[in-house]
Structure 1
Amino acid sequence: MRSRQPFTALAVTVCAGTLLAGCTSDGESKATPGRQQATPHGYVAGAEETAEPQPRLVVADGDTGAVHVLDLITEEVFEVGVAEGVDGISGDGRFAYLTTKGKTMHVIDGGAWTVDHGDHSHYYRAGTRNVGSVEGGRPDGVNSDVAVTAVSFDNGAVNLLDRAKLEKGEITEIAMADAGEHRGTVVPYREHLLMPAAGTVEVRTRSGRPVTRIDEPCPEPRGEAVTRRGVVFGCADGALLVIEDGGEFSGEKIGYPEKTSGDDRAREFSHRPGSTTLAAKAGDRGVWVLDVSARRWELVETGPTVAVNAVGDRAPVLSLTADGTLRAFDPRSGKETARTRLLARPLPESGDVISPTVQVDTSRAYINDPAAKAVYEIDYNDDLRRARTFKLDFTPAYMVETGR
């Protein structure tokens, strides 16, 4: 097994943010003298545990770079910082990661998250926070687990951030890797790192020691998703599903059902957290739907689309088209089941256009409309009914949901 230069250990605190707004508790217990008070199950210092999810949207203004958090429970809007030159956003359920034209990544704590224990979940809310920034190149992807956050750069380098310190408001790099043969986005999974390399996926320890390589090939890796069934990597010839069982890692190729050109392959996956149904654009043809549990692809012939997402098994696939219409499709039959005109005006066919996004959770979808300075809440189980419209005093160009 051929390996390359391992991770270099670091212990550098890059920067820390300040608690700016939101609802928090001090996390301290006032014990009765002479009696030791037990720590409640699920307790998190500095956070309030709630009975239901606390969804929030982290939204950035494409012109000014101002970053806001929209609380979907209270409908309050908090300004949390500025990311000048912002040109992209992603999230991991709690944190939002904003990329900029200056090759800087800004980290925003949305202050809401869900801890999934399999048979039950815990829901938390805390203060929104501008955590700080990470330098080092053009970020190509960010993935997290309970211990580390892996920031992959387009030059092949990878920075690992201490997750526990990130949750306390500090950006601390604990390791980094040189470019070498690694290409693609690194995914922390089951106390290891999955790294696309040399046409397949390499498994490493968190300290960078090579463990094994997946036998199944994955040419030209692009796009990834973490599901309950394993980690999916997009490949030129389909998808590679990497699973772990008893400490052993293995891969299974889910090939496309038909010959697929480079323009039509899946390059970026979207899905509801916890779901095993993924959606991806299929070039100008429509939407790829990947059922990870059934190991099956379906091509929904919608025509060109600007944003897609999958709600879940036997649930709608959502597609937003340039004319401003949101459509719902049955993922198995490909039949359109509902549609609604949403955007204030159609998107231009050419030029530097910022496309809206479709974010989904267990009951609603959220679509940002920069032209109207609005975010729409859609009930996808009720014929795409518009449940709420959030009018904003800034341009919501980039958006991601947290607290899911």
Structure 2
Amino acid sequence: MKKVFYIIVIILFIIFLGGWLIHYLHRNSIVKQEVHRDSKAILILALDNIMLKNTDEIRTLLTNEDDTSSSADQLKELATKSGLAIPPKLFFFALTEQSGTWYAFSKIKDLSAWESYMQHRVDKDSEDSSTASGAFIKLNSHIALAYNKEQVLWQFSNNSIPDSSLLLNMLADKGNRRPIRYFRGIEKVLWDHDLVYTSDNADKYITANIQGNEILLDGEWEVSNPLPPRFQVRQIDTAKHALVCWNAIAMTDSTLLSHLIRPLRELGIHTVDYMDFVVEKKSTTQLDTAITYDYDADFNTIEKREIIEKEVPVIRLFTTASSGEAIHSPFQFFYTFYPKTIDQGIILSTQEEISEDLVLRESNTPFFFRADFQQWPKAWTFGPFVALQQKKMVISLQGQPSSEKTLHIRGKVLSEK
């Protein structure tokens, strides 16, 4: 009997030791992944967590021969034919918090498979060049990469892609890389979340976790100046509009928030105490000039102008900026905005007549964002918005003070399966 007992104990010990060793190697492989030493912001995509939560969907995607959609086909090819090592977690890094440009390293496990994959992916419109340190490929105006025999360095940018020298130098300079464990504070957001945006020392971070048809958002955001307990914000019925966003903290402390709402970053306003941005479900009409060109019998250019009426969404931007400060609408190249100076500040609107009362109220929420794609304006029914409307997606995010210089960020993304 004792012999059987000892055998069982030994087997359990071996199982425990094997499990611990696998767990250790798994964690060690993650913390050894590298980013640039000067990274100011890091985006973590936990493929291991996401795959565990969506096993059936991923298996269906990878095995379904009938799914010929572009995104599904590209994902299947990247996972099975690219020759890249797929790590448990992907780390994207930005060299400045407000750059809008992200980078990521990938290891090549099969160079011939990778080169074959890229040969079929690169089209005639792509730009490519090669040097002794590696090869550079510009896939389009927003995605470029450089690679050598061991690694790929990706670049994703809202701005135009720079020349090849930047990526090739970053790829060749191994002295400027650091393992992810090099960054202090990263451990507190590294393990238990599906998606994480964090600063280099984790004093600002937001996490996202998938639960069924919900994505739960949570985080903390340290600011430079003490936060008052109450803030002055405009009184807005947030449930009746397609998009509502307000911000009552300094723009210098709103780097991530302005990434989420890119138009706020494009306004060029840095000194205001408060601003809000509203897109209504209803539309309005504006006059526009359509210019066409033709040729006469002698092939001289003839310019034709036609005044047309177009439907545009009702967009309103309110700020407490003084009338002397330059204010620019994020959509000024697409729509006409009518400015109106009021006692509390300035409002810009695509609707010429502004009839609503602008009332300020006290709130303990200095930052708020809500997008309801069930109420999305018809004028914006195109591109990615169509899929979001079909899923009836609602995104909400708000920040409230949790200490003198810290905002607690929480929110939710809801959609239909």
For normalisation by structure 1, the TM-score amounts to 0.24
Higher strand share: 1
Higher helix share: 2
- Structure 1 or 2, whichever has the larger Rg, is 2
For normalisation by structure 2, the TM-score amounts to 0.23
